[in-house]
Amino acid sequence: MKTFALALLTGIVLAGTAAAADSPQFRGPHRDGIFPETGLLKEWPLEGPPVAWVADGIGAGYASVSVVGGAIYVPGMLEDQQGILFVLDLAGNIQGRYPYGPETLTKQAPGARSTPTIDGDRLYLVSGLGVITCFQLPGCAILWQVDMINRFNGAMIEWAIAESPLIDGENLICTPGGPDASVAALNKMTGETVWTSKGWSEPSAYCSPDVFEVGGRRIIVTMTAKSVVAVDAATGAFLWSHPHETDYDIHAVTPVLHGRMLYYTGGYGSGGGMLLLSEDGSSITPQWANKNLDCQHHGVVLADGYIYGTAHKNRSLMCLELATGKLVW
């Protein structure tokens, strides 16, 4: 699974003529699924792009890779349940293996699932068991670890923690799903608690949070078990929530924002909708909702006023108009 993902990614990138840019976190440089590459294939061959290399021996898991400074970082789980941060060069050769503790053995989806987040000379990841690890780069020494489930009295969700940490200024944002601590901020240098989302106590739901600036206010937006939710990025103060339920409480798609239009979605036929944020992001007005695009995992891409993603129920690629929800194709 991991081998296929690495081979596919590399084939796509190296099919073009341009050198790859850094991608230091989940879903690319800006956490939105948009990558600034040039020289890519204009048409996709029926047999797919050529495979440049294949990396083997990096264990079980579902994490995507981060690429910074000519190095590829990806976690995996070996047979002894040990989580390992692997470092590869751009030719796919393993340059280092750095253990960070046990990973999850869930029956349906064992292994690592957090894409590393790289910020300066530090790398952060979350194990499926909810332990956040901060590594020092380039040597990958562990500087601190925090068990967010224990610290914030969160509940372990059915398929284990599957979020990728967000760095916002001096804070690391995570989703422990505890009482008055659905969302929490840690000092990225020390791991100490900065704030928790007092007033919001819904369990975690596999979603990686993002941060947006609206009218001068920075807000953290994510999806918890049954809701889209926003808190103030500076204080963690609860701002608003909007109900959205899916089977098994799976919300693994990070909401995306264009101007003040926020799009969210979930799988199992639940679909998604658009919320119009107030001038300062402190409140919302629902604009539309439909079940056309019920993306379950991996996320959607917002470009030029259109939403692109794959539907869970009918297994097709879709395009929606963001302002209206109209199904374009």
**Average confidence (pLDDT) over 86-109:** 94
pLDDT at res. 169: 97
Q: What percent of the chain has pLDDT over 90?
A: 87
Vertex 154, ends 152 and 157: CA angle to 5°?
155
Taking alpha carbons only, the member of 57, 15, 62 closest to residue 40 is 15
Contact 112, 76 (CB under 8 A): yes
**Cα-Cα end-to-end distance for the chain:** 30
- CB neighbours of 46 closer than 8 A, spacing ≥ 6? none
- Is the per-residue pLDDT at 189 higher than 70? yes
Confidence band of 20 (pLDDT split at 50, 70, 90): low
pLDDT at res. 72: 97
Q: Could you give the CA distance from residue 63 to residue 32 in angstroms, rounded to a whole number?
A: 16
Q: What is the pTM of this model?
A: 0.91
pLDDT at res. 11: 40
Structure tokens, 229: 């939710």
Which residue type occupies 147? D
**Average confidence (pLDDT) over 294-306:** 93
- Is the per-residue pLDDT at 317 higher than 50? yes
For the ranges 10-19, 68-77, 153-162, 187-196, the lowest mean pLDDT is seen at 10-19
Vertex 259, ends 253 and 261: CA angle to 5°?
50
Neighbours of 75 (CB within 10 A): 29
Residue 218 bridge partners (DSSP): 213
Q: Mean pLDDT in the chain?
A: 92
Which residue type occupies 322? L
Backbone angles phi, psi at 127, to 5 degrees: -75, 165
- CB neighbours of 269 closer than 8 A, spacing ≥ 6? 291, 294, 312, 313
